[in-house]
Chain A
Amino acid sequence: MAATSRLASCLPALLCAGCGGWQSALQPGGEQAGHLKVLIQLFTIVCGIVWLLVMLVLAAGLWRRHSGTPTGAAAERRSARLVGAATAASVLVIIGLTLASYVATHGLAAAGADPLVIRVRGSQWWWEVTYMDPSPDRTFLTANEIHVPVGRPIRVELAASDVIHSFWAPNLAGKQDLIPGRDNALSFTVDQPGLYREQCAEFCGLQHAHMAMLIVAEPAASFDAWRDGQIAEPPAPNDAEQAAGRLVFTGKACAACHTVRGTPAAGTLGPDLTHVGSRRTIAAGMLPTTRGSLAAWIADPQTIKPGNNMPMVPLTADELNALAAYLASLK
């Protein structure tokens, strides 16, 4: 039986060789996740040893020759001593692991100075992101994608607008819930530039499975450039098709829910689309941002993400084309 289960533990390891790793607790991209990975490894090793010991004792107990088993008070007493010793040992192991856990908690709690504050508000089934800044004109709103500078502490302030969600970017930190009526926060620092993925971890309804966003960690310089680009208004349409698309956007139902700064569209119910063309994905991490995927999403959101709150707005083929072209141009 022990052999089978060891086999069971090997096979999946082979099968998992292809895992992406951009949403994995075992490939930390920052200090906090690194601590957590060490903690996971420590617990796994200790627990693995305990399991092996128990299995060895079990196997030995079953395979020993029972014909000559000494019975009587002496054997019982010796067993009692052994059971007592094993219990004492497990108390020590438990105390050790508890202390390790406290130490890790303490390490994680130490927040760095001058953090970048990002407000994340979870809604069914997307993320609204606000970059805070001491000067109000540099505070801006975006959605479903976070850029962070490498090396600077990040403080994510979490709120929910409808039901409970949970912010989990396993490569960067543990998860923290977004709870209506409560304010939570999560701090982490990213060491490795790269692309990480964050996903809602608390069941939040029909599209819980498709409530993710990308976290782009980049050097401070390119982060600042990105931020300046986000603060600026999007470029004006530079051809007739995009201009027509803009007209569709502001004239049809789109503008009732979405904002594009610099246009009359100022809806706040759906994600801010000011720089949607610059984001890597649309629909909360579901599709790569291309003109085609934008058109597909607008044409039939309920097939791509059944139950989400985007209505199917009737558009002609020309309108759809123009709209997709316009949105893709919002870099």
Chain B
Amino acid sequence: MRARHLLLAACAFLVACQREQRDLRTDPPVAEALGQVAVMPGGIGGRPAAIDRALGHPYQTNAYQLNQGKRLWDWFNCSGCHAAGGGASGPALTDGSWRYGPDMVSIFVSIRDGRPNGMPAFRGKLTDEQILQLSGYVQAMGAETASTAAPSRNDTMQARASENRAPAAAAFPKQVSR
């Protein structure tokens, strides 16, 4: 009993460590491997790079990486089409419904290779790692349950709740969590 408690506590500790870690530099071989996603024909869904699993999916669970993704969202003017995530000329991203799939690989491919009807390809404009950071953030935008690692609002005008408040849940409260 005591051992199990200790084990649980240790797990909680490790999770916390990983969520808050700041890996500022990714080794070039790792960075290269991160881009090796296996995409299903049709460009929706697929298998993430093996290294992503080995690292513990940092681009979805690590606060620093998610925050970097949010910075890139602003810097690369994603709001130009997607507005604050609510959608404009581009589709909404915070409503919990996904045109090309909600998983990391689909979002990654959407950003890297672009999609029909206007989504530009960012291959060559962003590194694969940056695209992963952005993908993780975009996924957090549309999440129905907020993760504690998700970033909060920016110091700008706000049109919606921040990611750590899970705007998708507000939009579709009845929808079953994926």
Residues of A near any B CB (own CB < 8 A): 180, 206, 251-253, 255-257, 269, 300, 302-303, 306-307, 309, 311-314
Q: Is the CB of A307 within 8 A of B22?
A: yes
Q: Is the CB of A311 within 8 A of B24?
A: no
**Minimum distance in angstroms from A190 CB to a CB of chain B:** 35
Query: Which B residues lie within 8 Å of A255 (CB)?
Result: 125
User: 10 closest pairs, A vs B, by CB?
Assistant: A302-B25, A256-B125, A306-B24, A307-B24, A311-B127, A269-B75, A302-B24, A311-B130, A253-B125, A313-B127
Residue in chain A with minimal CB distance to B71: A309
Query: Which B residues lie within 8 Å of A256 (CB)?
Result: 76, 125-126
Query: Which A residues lie within 8 Å of B155 (CB)?
Result: 180
Given the contacts A256-B76, A311-B129, A251 and B124 also touching, CB distance less than 8 Å: yes
126-142 of chain B: CB within 8 A of chain A: 126-127, 129-130
Interface SS of chain A: loop
A to B CB contacts below 8 Å, 10 in the list: A206-B24, A256-B76, A269-B75, A300-B25, A309-B71, A311-B127, A311-B130, A312-B31, A314-B28, A314-B31
Question: What is the bound-complex CA distance between A57 and B75, given in angstroms?
Answer: 64
Query: Which B residues lie within 8 Å of A206 (CB)?
Result: 24
Q: In this assembly, does B26 line the interface, its C-beta being within 8 Å of a C-beta of chain A?
A: yes
Residues of B near any A CB (own CB < 8 A): 22, 24-26, 28, 31-32, 71, 75-76, 124-127, 129-130, 155
Question: What is the bound-complex CA distance between A311 and B128, given in angstroms?
Answer: 10
Q: Is the CB of A303 within 8 A of B129?
A: no
Q: Is the CB of A314 within 8 A of B32?
A: yes
Question: What is the bound-complex CA distance between A203 and B115, given in angstroms?
Answer: 42
Given the contacts A311-B130, A314-B32, A252 and B25 also touching, CB distance less than 8 Å: no
**Minimum distance in angstroms from B69 CB to a CB of chain A:** 13
**Minimum distance in angstroms from A54 CB to a CB of chain B:** 48
Residue in chain A with minimal CB distance to B155: A180
Query: Which A residues lie within 8 Å of B75 (CB)?
Result: 257, 269
Query: Which B residues lie within 8 Å of A251 (CB)?
Result: 124
Residue in chain A with minimal CB distance to B128: A314
8 A-B pairs besides A257-B75, A309-B71 with CB distance below 8 A are A253-B124, A253-B126, A256-B125, A300-B25, A302-B25, A311-B126, A311-B129, A312-B26
Question: What is the bound-complex CA distance between A139 and B155, given in angstroms?
Answer: 29
Query: Which A residues lie within 8 Å of B71 (CB)?
Result: 309
Question: What is the bound-complex CA distance between A253 and B129, given in angstroms?
Answer: 12
Given the contacts A256-B126, A269-B75, A312 and B24 also touching, CB distance less than 8 Å: no
In this complex, the member of A257, A307, A311, A313 whose beta carbon has the largest number of chain B beta carbons within 10 angstroms is A311
Query: Which B residues lie within 8 Å of A306 (CB)?
Result: 24-25
Query: Which B residues lie within 8 Å of A311 (CB)?
Result: 126-127, 129-130
Query: Which A residues lie within 8 Å of B125 (CB)?
Result: 253, 255-256
